[in-house]
Structure 1
């Protein structure tokens, strides 16, 4: 199991906190790297050659005095949980890509127009929205726009492109989402109170608070509430899901086949009546040649009907046999 590396300081490797003004608060360097406030102040006080962080930005890399509000905004969502054991953040709920506050399109690490554009205040918009409003921004605040433009040039050039914080986060997000899905499949859940990871077999569901809880939190804070095991809750949810599938799938096909069979039965009856009428028309033949022609057409129609019926029947029998096998599987299942 792995944690988000992009949500940890690149120097001390400790996780950020979603608030400004603290030692673990995130800061953005001009090269785009994310670093904690404590390491930022320590590195800034050193000479360039003594610093652990080295990039093309040089002294200008520590020019930005603002906290990384873009990182704080992402971390402030209730999709993350901090794992002290693993030393970083895990997803405990699915998370979609962060969005541009102007156009509300998701940022992308594949579409250049939807890459993030960082301002000197450490807020961001997508590149497309920046390009559309660039002239206005330059007029209103030339200083911030100039720093943002400089930041953008440095972040998208040279070997330090890999240190672009948002791009690193977007690269990690699909893998972390898959990890969350895998944990759910294998029977792990996060406690809604202490956020610790536990197995479903040892957790509870509080019927009053509608929370999934570890045994410790259930005992400490929910003893007076009615609770069931999380396994019972999961079984109930899965049962409802199967019932829904039965209604939406089995009954749908039952109604569909019933309708098709009625239409088929009506079609067969209609075909039979028309064929009988054609056969009776044989007695109205004006000549022997006319009689032979009418007999030929009736025979061809009868042959075509037999052929398409023979082609259809194996599929019906195969489907019926498969349904019977599935029913037998259900009857033979001891659970």
Structure 2
């Protein structure tokens, strides 16, 4: 039990599942919102958000675990509450490559409907960076291998900003893929990935998205979310979106990265450090690739690069 009275699932050991090829799996931590004394939103027919999202999270975990190269972990496996900070702590203990929080939206009137996907906002990122710098116990290694121990505040702040920016860019990338797939099975509330300062999205080192499966306050969507067939369709769409993203930008050392390298002819991926005067278009031209391919390969949101930044060059 955590200090705020919530239950904290134990991650007995970090997740480093090895595939048959000796490469690790992509680890996706799925977080079913609310739980226990916190029912979340309640629909007109009495359907509780905490029940719907747990069933959907369990279905999503099953789909992910069935896919070679992936391992799924759940933050909660039953009807109990976990503190918001502890949900992200669990993701870090599991060495997550992605954190997905599943919720169902609500509004004071029954009309609004549709699924949404959220990533962290810049305002949320700024406040979280300040929080990490203020708390000395946070200065242990981040999942990405960045250590803040022994760094002065200015350098620690720069490292955190870089890590947070990369995480947000990756979150927007995977969020866009997931939203695109969700649009094939559900009405979308907004056409793009939204950004907000939700606590569960604030990991500076783990790409994180929050999926609102629909409006439980809308009678039709409450009815849909209560059925296994609809939850399964949503879970399948989320899985396809996650897989689409990681097939394009697999984390180094994973089976997916190994398979992508083999598809590209087995050539080793090269790395290039950006020099003064470099542009992404110039680097692309010299390496017989395109700006969009480099952006996709490195999880970049735009074509801006910084001096000293190392980018990966796909095999031609």
Same-fold status (TM-score > 0.5): no
| Coarse TM-score class (shorter-chain normalised) | under 0.3
TM-score (norm 2): 0.23
Higher relative contact order structure (alpha carbons within 8 Å, sequence separation ≥ 6): 2
Question: Which one has a larger percent helix, Structure 1 or Structure 2?
Answer: 1
Higher gyration radius (CA): 1
